[in-house]
Structure formats: C-alpha cells, structure tokens
Structure 1
C-alpha cells in the first residue's frame, strides 16, 4: 500500500511545487494534506505486512488507500478543469475571460472537496494514533523501507538470462530420463506426460530437454504451445498453424486464418503433420476436456512423433497415456535436501555452493519452509541475495514467515513465501510488479510495451542523467533478478525481449492487486477485482456480461487495456466508457478492437499518455490529435494509417511513434517493400522528445526535407526510414552524425534499383548503435560500418556490390548475427582467420554468382548456426567448415541439385564427411506448395530422407 501512497504523494508534491499560481488559495490546504499523508507512510511500512492477522488494521489501511486515491482524482480533475490555452485576438480575450471565470468556479468546487477529504484524513489520523501505539515496536521487512533507486544503471542482462547449465540443480537425472522416454518406444506417436504440483519446475525441465540439440535433430517439426487454464481451442490451433507456416507472409496469412472455423483449423494442422515426424509440447494443460479437444488435431502417424504434456492433473495424465499404447508418465518430485541446499546457496550467495557458518541455522529453517519446491527456493534465495549477511536481518526475514512451515497445503506455503518476497520489495518495485496482474495468464509480455505502460502510469521517476526508459528497464531487471519474473524471449545479443509470470507468482500478484485496488479484470468469467472505483481495467478477450456494469465500476478509471482477441462486445464497452465522460484516463490500449475510426470522445482525454490502436482498422488520424498534449506513446502498428497530420507536432511530450506493418514474405523471395511506412508530419523536428520513430518515408513536406529534419531529433534511439533516394545520401549522413544516442537503425531505399549513397564519413561513429539494417542497392558498402564497435546484428539486403562485404564486418568485436541477402555479386567468399570473433548466427541468401566459400581455421570460433539459401552457382560444400567446432546447425535451402548430390556423394572416408556426420543437425530444404519440405541426413546410408 505504501508504494501506491508514495506515488500519489510524489504527484501531489509536483503539483504543489509547479502549479503554485494556478492553485491560489488551495496551495496551503494541499500542503497540509500532503504533510498529514506523509506521516502515515512511515507507519504503513512497518504495519502493512501484519494486515493479514489484524482485521482492524486492514480496515485502517483500506481507508488510507481510498482517501489517497480520492486525492489523486481531485488533482487530476482540477488540472483538467483549470487547464487553458493561450489565445490571441478579440475572440481569444473573450475565451481567456471565460476560462478565468470557469477556473474560479472549479477552484471553489475543488476547495469544498478538499475540505471534505481533510475531515476524513483527520478521522483516519485518530485511528492511526491508536495503531501507532500498538505497533510501535514492529520493524518493517528490510527491503520495504528503501525507495531509493541506485543512481547508476548497469548492464544486468547477464543476471536475467534463462537458467544456464550451472544454475540448474537436481535436473540431470530427470533430463536424462525424459530424453530416454522421447527417444525410446516404437514408431507410433507417443504421449509423455510430466506431472507435478506448481513450482516444481516442470516447464523448466521440459524446455531444457526440448531445446537440446540432440533431441531436435530427431524431429523435423518442433512446436511449443502454452495452453493455460483459460485457453481457447481456436487460438491454440491458430498458434500451431503460425508455427507450422512460420515462413509465410504473416500479414496475408493472418487474414486467411481469420476466415477459418475450428474444424478447418483442425484439419489444416492434421494434414500438415500427417507425413511429418514432429514433436509438440503442450505446456500447462489443466483439464481432461482440454486434452480431448487438442490431441485429435495431431495425427497418430507412424513416423515416431512425440507429444509432451506438462500438467498438475494426475487424472489427465492417465487419460493421455491411455490414448496411446506405450505412453509414458513422469512424476516430477521436489528436490532432495542436498539439491535444495545447493540451489538456495547459488541464488542467495552469488553462485557459491556453501553457506556462511553464522547463517547455517536460519538457512536450514528457510529451506524447511520451502519444502523442496524450486520456485520457492529460487524466489526466497533471490530476495535474500539483496541483503547484507547479518544474522539478525536474515532471522527477521525468517520470523516474518510465521507458521508457514506447519501448513499441510503446499500451495498455501508457496503463496506465503511469495507474499513475503513481495513485502521485501522496495516501494518502487511493488507497484510495478502488481501492475502485471493486467496481463492474461501465460501472456508473453513485451519488454518495451511494459516499460512504456509503467511510465505512462506514473510508476517511474527520472533519475539523474538517465531517461525514464532506462530507469524502468532497471526496475524490470531487478524483478528478474529476484526471480519474480521469468525471461520468455531474448534478443540475439542476450538482451531481454519479453518476460512471463509464473502462474503461482501471478496468483499472488492478483491477490495483492485486488486488495490494493490496482487492477480490475473483465472477461467471459465475469469481473475480478474491485467493483468500487476501479482504477485500471483490463478486458481479456470477449465477455458475455459486464458491459452493463461498466458505468458503475468505472467512476475513477485511469487506465483501460484490451487484450486480443477483441470483438464487437469490446467495442460496445469502449463506447460506454468514452461516452460516459471518463476524462481522467491516462492509458488506453485498444489493441485488436474492431475500429475503423477513432471516436471523437477520445480526444477529450487530455491526461492521456499512452494510446495504442495496434491491429485495429484505423485508416487515418484526425487533426483533433493535437488536443492530447500529454501523449507520450502512439502505437499504430498493424493499422492502415499512412500519414500523420501536421498538428501532431504540437504534442511536445511524444516519445514513441510506431506506424508500420511488417510483411514477412516467403523466405528467399525478392519482394522489396516488406514494410509499410508513413509520411511524416510537416516540421517533425519540433518533436524534441522523440526516442523512437519507424517507419518514416524520406520524402519532402513542402520545402522541408525529412532527412535533414531527422538530425534535429537528438534523443532518437530507434530510427526506421524508407524511400531513401540517391540524392538524400549526403544530408542523411549529416543528420546521422547528430544522433549520438541511436541504438537501432533501419534504412530502406526508394525502390530495388535506387542506389543508396552512404559514402560519407561519420565522425561520431554512432558508438551506441547495436542493430543495423541496410536494404537497397549500393555501389559499395559504407566504410563507416567497420568502425561500429557496438554492433551486434547486421542485415544487408539487395546491395549487389562487387567488393567483398566481409571486409567491413570481420573485425567487429561484438557482432553475433549476420543476414546477407542479394548482397554480393562475386564468385568467392573467404572467412579469414581471426575474423568474426563473436559471431553465432550466419545466413547467406540469394547470392547467384557465389561458387566457392572458404572458412579459414580460427575464423568464426563461436559459430553455432550456418544457413545457405538459393545460391544457385554453388556446387560443392564450403571448404573448411570442419574448423567450426561449435557449429550445431547447418541448413541448405533451395540449393541446386548438383550441390545436394555432391553433399550425398562425399567421400565416406574423408575428414569432411566424418565431420558432417557428427553435426547434431544437417537439413536440406526445398519449397513445395509454399512450405519448406525438410530432409535430414540419414547417417547410416548417407542419403537425405
């Protein structure tokens, strides 16, 4: 609770300091109110974690929360009603006078409301004095007293990555046993069920086995499908098909899927897998009816396919194994005492496997409470890793558990342990964690989306020379380090791309969020959370009922978020909210809602900071957008918008503009315009706060050149620009020199034959640039690429240069991924010794003149994945690839028949052939009926089958 109150107090202090003239006589009243509330915060930090055992204290805390929320509403309403714009001329003078009269009336009305709230605070303070006496000696959990963010943000991505081999304890035996189940059995499809209670690590175990290169090499189709408790069969089938047809044009494919019913989707999955050896994991299956609905879509063929289920339901496992003769059930057990101790010590003591002698007893007690459950051990160990190693501090933490170890219900034990970890969080992390309750179960939460939402909600405060995005990213990594979040997806260079919440952690978050009135969820199951003055509403897909309740539960609405699949009922709910005058909304995410026009009422939301119209049918943005003066994020991805009005430049707080549809063509296609872009507004350079803009057309607006304007946007971190012409090159490079903060740069030429001229020096060297995409013809690659020491990913397409492109890339120390398509018109490529020291992924595509590829010893020492595609002149296997000691995956797409025959007819006694046989995965793929037909090397015959 004190985390919410602290945020409101910060906002109140800001208003008092910055709006003194506007407040007039209200200034003193608000100052007194702030001082009174501040006195309550200290007590809350000591008493909040005792609420569970004291109903009277619980009532008092709820009263404090309610009055704090009312203060926040009054401030927002006052700023809304008293805001006015400068006006000129006679009409403008009349409006100014009208606004002054209106402000006087607003100030009078607000003054009355403040007096009423002040009376309530006085009454609450009296109760506070009684509780203060009762709990005077109570100490707060050590983490909760700190609300100060470390002043320096350092790179913590290594702490947040998925568990590495060294971090896994007690899993070697289960992994080997599960692998044996997958590889044994007959040629029929088998079902393997991994069963155990939540928190045992079922998903972690199966994911580790699923990703094992030796397992993957046995199957030519690999799918991981998260089911969750509230899954919908239609969406699950669509997700399966997307994975099966991942190389198709996603934009068109999505349209095709939307036209199919469940029977059509099921039939498509069945037919696609009927002649395939596949492995599919269904993670977190809850009910037998779920299994009955799912498994019939996956053919029981004779190719040795495998289906893996993770579940908590023993009855389900019996039904699943009975479906197949020869199915397996694997019961995952809690960690043994020694394994539990090792895992705890690794988390609590920074990788050490031993416990300091003075902490041995308290560690033993904590491990007893955890009952061998890996999730509990990891979360508690991670929390204690943030503390000093003083015995009394650890003992206080343990004593806060109360009687948890005497409970017979493991789930209750887990919830108690997780709640303790929550109370141990500093204030600025608590509210960030609870906000995650808006996301659906098992949702893949995009990092940047979450960061922008946190900022718009007011949960993040700017620190020193750091941007709010950097501070928010620090918050995210802290939650990951404490194991309260899990990494779901990472970028090629190890940075976190998306996170996920463990379902048990999510249950704890939901309970806390409901208690503190953080979020309210509306779905087909009804309303979850507060129905009295809901602050933030998330609508999960369709809901049969609830739209009629919206008027009563949304009196104080500040945020409204829709999650796909949205439908017409969702649109009706939106109409109700907007027509009912919810003017205090700061966050509005309408993702997937069937809209073709933006409702006019939306532009009265002057507090709005975050607006997402992603994947709607919106075609244009009206001039009225100029009213949203507080807007920070405008997300139009997946819409039909191609132009922004010039009035948008009045939104001086805009930080992120995303306007594009990414059309991924069938791999190997030479389709040029894969990305739709938009025309920039006139004088876009006035948007000084912009950090991200993509994809923008490099055309002219009047007499203003966009390529020149971009140079004024000095805070840019991500730039995507299209339609670049030859004549733009010099001015564009001049602008790039000024973008010292740039992290990601994408450049696409006007058309396939238009030459991009980037042969101009860049003195700044773009030292922070990590990602570079250059799509278009060039006479030669820009020499400045070789100076970009921070580059981790390069994508070069359609350059068609005669000079060796590797010379500009081979010495870059951090480059881990390269994609080259239609880049080179030469006949030979040589990867020289010592070059590409960090490279892990390399793709060479559509190089029609390329005949020979040579890899010198010492080149690409860390390469794991190598792909060739559509290189029609290649007739022999690249020489020297036996030097690639870490290579796990070698794949050839649409290669000439002579090449494949040469591969099959290699000398069986040669070193090259013996080396190829040792590769975990070697695949030859051909395009058949818009799908890749994959063949694997049969090691006994030397043929591809």
Structure 2
C-alpha cells in the first residue's frame, strides 16, 4: 500500500512542478531532488511488498517511509498556500510582510533539508538490517502458493468466524496495489450505505487514484477499476444505469471493517462516530458519521494534515461556524463533502485560501448565491451543488481551467459570459443549466468542446426548446437531460450528432418531442418522466408512425405517465431489449409481442394490477421475462 502512497505524492509533485513551478520559487531545485529520492524509495517499496508482515525490520523502515512521505507532502502544500496568501496581499502589505516571507522561505528550506536527512536514515537502516532490494520478489516467486492453498492453511485450528475473516482479508491481500486505495476508500461510507458510483469515481479522480490514459478517459479507467473490484466479489452491485453501467453499489460489513482497519495502519483514513468522537488522531482523510456540529465541539484530531473531509449525518448545522472551523483547521484540504448544511453558500463565500480544493459537494436545498471568490480555487475539478436553488453563476468560471464536472439545480442557473479566448477544455459535465440565448452562444462558440453530459432546463423565461437545434457543435456529447418540455421540438436537425442517451422530465409537449426523437440515428437509451411541477400523471402518447423510428433504441423507461396511446408501425423499435414501466397507468392497449420481437425483459415498478396484466402480452415468448417490483395496487 505504501508504494501507492509514494506514487500519489510523486504524481502530485510532478503536477506541481509542471503547473505551479512559479509558486515554488526558491525551493524548486530541492523539490526536484526530493522527487528523485522518492523514485528510489518506490523501487524499494515494490520489492518489499508483503514482506512487512514477516519482518519487523522491514515494517519499521516502511513506517519511516510513510512518515517522511506525508511530512514532505505537508511541507510543500503548506508552502504553496503561504506563497499564494502572500501574493494576494496588496503591494504595501507585501512590503510590510517581506521579512515574514523571507522567514517562511528559510523555514521550508530547513524542513526540506531535515526530510532529506530522514531519507538518508532510511537507507542507512535498510543497509543496517541487510534488507536487499529484489530479494523479497525472488522469495515470493520461490515460495508462492495459490490462494486456495493459503485459505486451506489458515483453516487450521481456528473458529469458523475467524476463517471467514481470514478469507476476506486474503481477498484484500491478493489485490494488485493499484486497486488498493480505491478499495480502502469504501471505508469512508457508513455501514450498508448505497453508494452513488459516479460521485465515487469523481472522488477517486480528485484523490489522484486514477492514472491518466492516452486512449481512455479517467472516468472510463475508473469504471474498469470498479468492475475489477466487483469481479473479485469485494463490492456488490446494487443497481445499474440505463446503459448497463453500475449506478449504485454497496460493500459488505466485513469488507468495510477491513477498509477501516487497514487504513488506520497507513493513516489512509479515519472514521468518527458517536462512540469515538473524541478520539485523537492525525487523519489524512476524515469521515464523520456523527453529527458535524457535535464533532466541531468534541473532536480531538489534528486536522492540519487532513486532505479530505466528509460529513454523512443528515442533521443541519450552522454554516458560519463550520466556515470558521474549516478556515482555522483545514488549510491543506483537497476534497470537501459538507453534507447537510443549511446556507452552504456562506461557507463557499470565504474559502478562497483553501487553494488545494479539487472537489466540493453540498446537500443544501436552500437558495444559493455564489460569489466570484469561488473561482480563486484554481485546482477545482468537481463542483456539485445539486439540491440547492442556485441562481446565476457569477462571472469568472473560465478561471477554473481544471473543472471537469459542474452540477447545479434550480430553474434559474445560467452561465455568465466567457471571454473570447478562454475555453474550458476539461469540462465533461454541465448540468442543469437554463438553455437561454446566452448559454447557447457559449456552447456554439466552443467554450466547452469536450462536453459529454449536458442537462438543460426550459422552465425559466427566455429559454426555448428550439435552442436544442443549435447544439450540433457538441461532437462529444453522448448524454442529455431535458427538464420541462414547454414547446414541441420540430426536428432533430441540429441536435448533437452522437447523442446516445436522452432523459425527458415533465412539460406539456412530451409526446410530440418523443415522437420526433425517433429520427435520431444513434439513440440507444430513452427515459421519459412525467412529473415535474404537478403530482398528476402526464397524459402521454407514443406514436411511432414511421417504420424507421428508434432503429437503435435498446432501453425505454417510462415513469409517472398516463399512457393514453401507444402505436408502433411495423419495423419501429427493432432493437428494443428492456422496457421499464414505473408508476404508470394505461388508458389504452399496448402493442403485442409481435411488435417488439427483440424484447428480453419488462420491469414494472409500483403500477396497478391492470397494468401488469396488460404487460403480460409482451412476455408470451420464452425469451422475455416480466419482473414486478413493489406492490401492484388495484
């Protein structure tokens, strides 16, 4: 595991030396030398993998490496914060604090020299204890045993519960090192917690666990990592997305216990509950399963080295007190999930000094105003404000050059103007934003050329569904969500050319829009949801009069609709495999099984017995099954 920790620091140093070299003025050369020393240490760690359980001397050296690695990361990150704060001062203040800056430079120089001495001690101890690089790898090859043999060996003279725990632990021990931090990360979640996979992946990327790839996006690499953990039975799939990807997952209690226990040894993460709320520690990652306001009063941890902070309690707490607490204790923070805080905009108003922040998430359903100071967080990759009633974004979003995912809520979230030559190349997700004239112009001008997922809202004045026909410039867009269809879509001409998944939510023109979308050549997944403002079911007509409609559609989901008409021409929907009906009523008959010959599964959620009986017509062939979830009401 420690080789992964060193790898993460090496990647962080490389990134700093490449993009923040100007902030290291005066110590850049020593940081580069330290980077070279870490490369040597990495080779030793690779050869010592698994040997620390056999030899206390190896374990002691690895603990030295862990401590010096974390110390070095703290020294460099803190120095960058201090430099930024100094440079943000006015010229007069910079002059008045010039002596302080000189002292700061001297201190960091001294700290780096001390770290180099500690690295020298590590190599001296390695030689003293005759730890030879390469010998453990050789020994492992000569003494290798299969997992099955090891399990059998560990069954001797132990109770059955111990056997289970040892087998579970062995699953972790045999896990390749690149997957271990991703697996241990599941320890941040409460017991039996249903985990949103897309949020999890964004966290992994922000933590630096997922390497960049020349061919695949980091998000796709992260999904492969998750699938590997699932394949090894370490993680359980809870639900899947329309496109078949994992939507939510869970971890077994025994495996979660391993994540927490293993993380303690490497100081990877710590969890605080009502039971251990006052326990001392120096966590790199801290997950609060107790009330956040109680922890602020009773917690005893040293947070000066904490990089990630998560709050999972659902009780609201005071935003202003929380902001003061953050500013005082978490200067090196990279990931922040504020949990259930009322007035989280007050927190974001004055955290511009937390310059290392890469990920921010809040679950606040109050009105939300952002100040432009948020754009001083130039390392930010994910800004997740879902659930809040967000108003216009202030000018300056173009400063967040590393931003990958921007999630918003509310019917009035709009984009500010972006200067002509400023482009957000890294932005993959923009959702949900009002599609008004200004937003369309930003999209047409190529301000977000690599956008993959777009969510738009037509509830506010000034929006028009016709603007969808001006998005052909979004060549990489594959997923689109449209909220409140208040006008009929006249044609698919001008829509993004590679769109494969569309979700429609509410509005009076769902029927007309859906029937037009049948002309999209690459559409494979379609979800239609009736409710948006009113609790009444939306009257819906599915009329595929063109035999060429929905030629590639594989999955059709309909929710909260009163389906008053459903007619399919012969040849329409020839590839449909999954039909999902959720809370719908049928005021009409549905097509027979001959109209949907490729259908393999029909899923029914919370619908009447009458609807279930009508859907039986679609599952007369042996290859199609009907699954009913929830009580079918009369």
Helix, strand or coil: the match of 1:50?
A: coil
User: Per-residue deviation at 1:5?
Assistant: 1.2
Q: Residues 412-443 of structure 1, C-alpha deviation per residue, up to 9 Å, x if partnerless?
A: 33444444433433332111111221111111
Where in structure 2 are the equivalents of 1:136-147 lying within 5 Å? 137-139=135-137
Alignment match, 1:50: 51
* 7-16 vs 61-70, which moves further: 7-16
Q: 1:448 to 1:103 in 2, by over 3 A?
A: farther
Helix, strand or coil: the match of 1:748?
A: strand
Q: Residues 689-721 of structure 1, C-alpha deviation per residue, up to 9 Å, x if partnerless?
A: 322222211234xxxx21232342222222111
- In the alignment, the residues of structure 2 paired with residue 59 and residue 802 of structure 1 have an alpha-carbon distance, to the nearest angstrom, of 70
Alignment match, 1:341: none
Alignment match, 1:715: 450
Q: 1:425 to 1:748 in 2, by over 3 A?
A: same
Tell me if 1:773 matches 2:521: no
Tell me if 1:588 matches 2:336: yes
Where in structure 2 are the equivalents of 1:569-718 lying within 5 Å? 574=322, 577-595=325-343, 597-599=345-347, 600-615=349-364, 617=366, 619-660=368-409, 676=411, 678-683=413-418, 686-700=423-437, 705-711=438-444, 712=446, 713-718=448-453
Alignment match, 2:24: 23
Helix, strand or coil: the match of 1:611?
A: strand
On the 8 A contact 1:593/1:616 being kept in 2, the answer is no
Tell me if 1:475 matches 2:225: yes
Alignment match, 1:404: 154
Alignment match, 1:448: 198
- In the alignment, the residues of structure 1 paired with residue 193 and residue 127 of structure 2 have an alpha-carbon distance, to the nearest angstrom, of 44
| Alignment size in residue pairs | 616
User: Per-residue deviation at 1:574?
Assistant: 3.5
Tell me if 1:413 matches 2:151: no
- In the alignment, the residues of structure 2 paired with residue 605 and residue 734 of structure 1 have an alpha-carbon distance, to the nearest angstrom, of 39
- In the alignment, the residues of structure 2 paired with residue 586 and residue 846 of structure 1 have an alpha-carbon distance, to the nearest angstrom, of 44
Alignment match, 1:150: none
On the 8 A contact 1:550/1:573 being kept in 2, the answer is no
Helix, strand or coil: the match of 1:119?
A: helix
User: Structure 1 residue aligned with 2:109, among 108, 111, 119?
Assistant: 111
Tell me if 1:812 matches 2:551: yes
Q: Residues 872-919 of structure 1, C-alpha deviation per residue, up to 9 Å, x if partnerless?
A: xx9x96996574555554xxxxxxxxxxxxxxxxxxxxxxxxxxxxxx
User: Per-residue deviation at 1:813?
Assistant: 3.4
Q: 1:43 to 1:406 in 2, by over 3 A?
A: farther
User: Per-residue deviation at 1:844?
Assistant: 9.7
- In the alignment, the residues of structure 2 paired with residue 586 and residue 453 of structure 1 have an alpha-carbon distance, to the nearest angstrom, of 10
Q: 1:17 to 1:734 in 2, by over 3 A?
A: closer
- In the alignment, the residues of structure 2 paired with residue 811 and residue 516 of structure 1 have an alpha-carbon distance, to the nearest angstrom, of 53
On the 8 A contact 1:654/1:687 being kept in 2, the answer is yes
On the 8 A contact 1:141/1:424 being kept in 2, the answer is no
Q: Which structure 1 segments of 5+ residues have no match?
A: 143-390, 662-675, 890-919, 926-933, 936-945
User: Structure 1 residue aligned with 2:239, among 476, 489, 496?
Assistant: 489
User: Structure 2 residue aligned with 1:747, among 482, 494, 504?
Assistant: 482
Alignment match, 2:534: none
On the 8 A contact 2:604/2:629 being kept in 1, the answer is no
- In the alignment, the residues of structure 2 paired with residue 878 and residue 485 of structure 1 have an alpha-carbon distance, to the nearest angstrom, of 34
User: Per-residue deviation at 1:596?
Assistant: 5.5
Tell me if 1:732 matches 2:465: no
Q: Which structure 2 segments of 5+ residues have no match?
A: 532-537
Helix, strand or coil: the match of 2:504?
A: strand
- TM-score, with structure 2 as normaliser: 0.83
Helix, strand or coil: the match of 1:787?
A: coil
Where in structure 2 are the equivalents of 1:165-180 lying within 5 Å? none
On the 8 A contact 1:550/1:577 being kept in 2, the answer is no
- In the alignment, the residues of structure 2 paired with residue 544 and residue 466 of structure 1 have an alpha-carbon distance, to the nearest angstrom, of 42
User: Per-residue deviation at 1:78?
Assistant: 2.0
* 572-581 vs 449-458, which moves further: 572-581
RMSD of Structure 2 on Structure 1 (CA):
4.1
- In the alignment, the residues of structure 1 paired with residue 554 and residue 463 of structure 2 have an alpha-carbon distance, to the nearest angstrom, of 30
- In the alignment, the residues of structure 1 paired with residue 629 and residue 235 of structure 2 have an alpha-carbon distance, to the nearest angstrom, of 35
- In the alignment, the residues of structure 2 paired with residue 622 and residue 721 of structure 1 have an alpha-carbon distance, to the nearest angstrom, of 22
On the 8 A contact 2:343/2:364 being kept in 1, the answer is no
- TM-score, with structure 1 as normaliser: 0.58
Of structures 1 and 2, the larger Rg is shown by: 1
Tell me if 1:759 matches 2:491: yes
Helix, strand or coil: the match of 1:553?
A: coil
Q: 1:594 to 1:132 in 2, by over 3 A?
A: farther
